[in-house]
Amino acid sequence: MEESVKKMDAFFNPRSVAIIGATKKVDKAGYVIFKNFATNKLRGVFKGELYPVNPGEDSILGFKCYSSIKDVPGEVELIVVIVPAKIVPSVMEEAVSKKVKAAVIITAGFKEVGNVDLELQVVAAAKRGDIRVLGPNCLGIFYSKTGVDSLFLPETKVLTTGEDVVATPRPMPGSIAMITQSGAFGVAALDYLTGRQMGVSKFVSFGNKCDVTEVDILGYLLHDKETRVILAYVEDIKAGREFLKVARKVTTKKPVVVIKAGKSEAGARAASSHTGAIAGSDKVYAAAFEQAGIIRARDMDEFFDAGKALAMQPPALGKNIGILTDAGGPGVMTVDELELEGLTVEPFSDETSQKFEKLKADGFILKIAATHNPVDLTGSVVDEQFEISADLMFQDTEIDGIIFLGLHHMPGLREKYIDSVAKVASKYSKPIVMCDIGETEMALYTRSRFDRLGIPSYSSPEDAARAMGALVKYGAYLQRNNCAEEYIKDFVEKRTKP
């Protein structure tokens, strides 16, 4: 691991943290952020030393408060800065004398509002002290394993009950890393990932990118064993050539899904006023992403859906997809969307077709069932038919992945198919994604069961098809770089067995 990458570890695994601007005022970001660390310290999650810094306080939440970072008795590896913008340069000067390693500057009011010189002062001080800086104008870091949490999300009340709850719950640990130039989008992403029970390895909000950029974070996550997939929201990329160089290294080991905002002229202007982003040709970005093996999402749904599929399933090594369904209409919708994605739904091999015909002849499945791809077992389907059919489809060498449309409404289904299909899928290195249409309790339950068993589930055929499209795109990229076999072998060895 390069030394520059090792330095990034101070953001995620600091032995000591000082919160500059910590306060007792509960409606202030300084209180919320310090409380995050203090709570995690008391719970035994954050194991480092914790120091609140505020000249106007003696103690905060039982922790002795210091007037300046220079007064802190021990070393300080990481500082989180939440003071007015005009004070930040002097804070950074003190951090230099304290030999701080990393700084998260939450404070806004720099380049994004025209105060370029103020931001340059911060950068100059950081360079003198060899301090890595995240921000300014950002949310910073969330890493549940070590208790680093600089998210200033205040507590709120549920209006119907009056109960205090956290505005945006923290996601459970998982294999998806989320990096974002927009703090607000990051908050929304955390809320989404938490609600969908999609686990997060690390979360990084980098704001104005005065020092640490997506290049640094990608380089760090390349070596992070907890991260399997990287989701990134970006508005601009500063060092294009360096980004491509690092991205190519990362994407042969871990898929990267990007949503690029500021595509239109008006969007680019909005991005500039938001984080000081510099507009660039969207066609240039599109070409760069494709060259680097980055999967570009068209919208938020595709962004999260692709991340979910890539985290749970191995990539596909071809574009011919098998469809297994108990409802003809959704099957046709899936075929349409797959074709729009550039994928195919070709008939099975003669051997597989003969096996399905024998199942019909034996009365195991109805003679009226369609079995040439898509396989439509009709509304009379029972659990065992799904299990056996899925197994036959996985065995077919001409099928590169399966979309399973297991609509729960059918009277013959008894939930056994959920576990049995997952067990069948675990025997193979081909991907499978699942769709169950509906928003009732049973539909939500069915999809969550599949998710927990490692099969990504979706609520529409289109979403499932686009998720499979991401698996095909990534598989094709790995094949072009001669590393698909190694990636899939490693993925299959590490995935959770149902």
Tell me which of 137, 156, 179 is where a domain ends: 137
Among 52-56, 218-222, 264-268, 472-476, which stretch is predicted with the lowest mean pLDDT?
Answer: 264-268
161 located within any domain:
no
Q: Report if residue 418 sits inside a domain.
A: yes
Looking at 262, 286, 312, which one is the last position of a domain? 312
State whether 253 and 385 are in the same domain. no
SS3 164: strand
Instruction: Read off φ and ψ for residue 121, nearest 5 degrees.
Output: -65, -40
Cβ(238)–Cβ(265) under 8 Å?
A: no
Does residue 158 sit within a domain? no
Q: Does pLDDT of 496 surpass 80?
A: no
Confidence (pLDDT) at 93: 98
Distance of alpha carbon 164 from alpha carbon 170, whole angstroms:
15
Whether 280 and 378 map to the same domain: the answer is: no
Same domain, 13 and 130: yes
The pLDDT value given to residue 229: 98
Could you give the number of structural domains in the chain?
A: 3
**331 and 471 belong to one structural domain:** yes
In this structure, the answer to whether residues 249 and 318 fall within a common structural domain is no
- Residue 274: predicted pLDDT: 45
Q: What percent of the chain has pLDDT over 90?
A: 84
Last residue of one domain, picked from the residues 263, 296, 312: 312
Q: Is the pLDDT of residue 414 over 80?
A: yes
Rounded distance between C-alpha atoms, residue 484 and residue 486, angstroms: 6
Write the DSSP symbol of residue 138: S
In a domain, 341, yes or no: yes
Answer whether residue 154 is part of any domain: no
Are residue 468 and residue 415 in the same domain, yes or no? yes
The 8-class DSSP code of residue 134 comes to E
Task: Say what the pLDDT of residue 263 is.
Answer: 65
Q: What is the CATH number of the domain that holds 303?
A: 3.40.50.261
Residues 239 and 324 in one domain: no
* Structural domain contains residue 153: no
In a domain, 156, yes or no: no
Q: How many CB atoms within 10 Å of residue 358?
A: 10
Answer yes or no: is 48 within a domain.
yes
> How many Å apart are CA 79 and CA 14, to the nearest integer?
10
Same domain flag for 331 and 245: no
Question: What confidence tier does 166 reach under pLDDT thresholds 50, 70, 90?
Answer: low
Per-residue pLDDT band for 149 (boundaries 50, 70, 90) equals very high
Confidence of residue 238 (pLDDT cuts 50, 70, 90): confident
Structural domain of 428: 314-494
Q: What CA–CA distance (Å, rounded) separates 223 from 221?
A: 5
Indicate if 397 and 348 belong to the same structural domain.
yes
CATH number at 85 reads 3.40.50.720
Residues 272 and 348 in one domain: no
| Same domain as 372, residue 235 | no
Mean pLDDT of 215-224: 96
Q: What is the mean pLDDT of residues 248-253?
A: 97
**Residue pLDDT, tens place only, 54-111:** 999 999 999 999 999 999 999 999 999 999 999 999 999 999 999 999 999 999 999 9
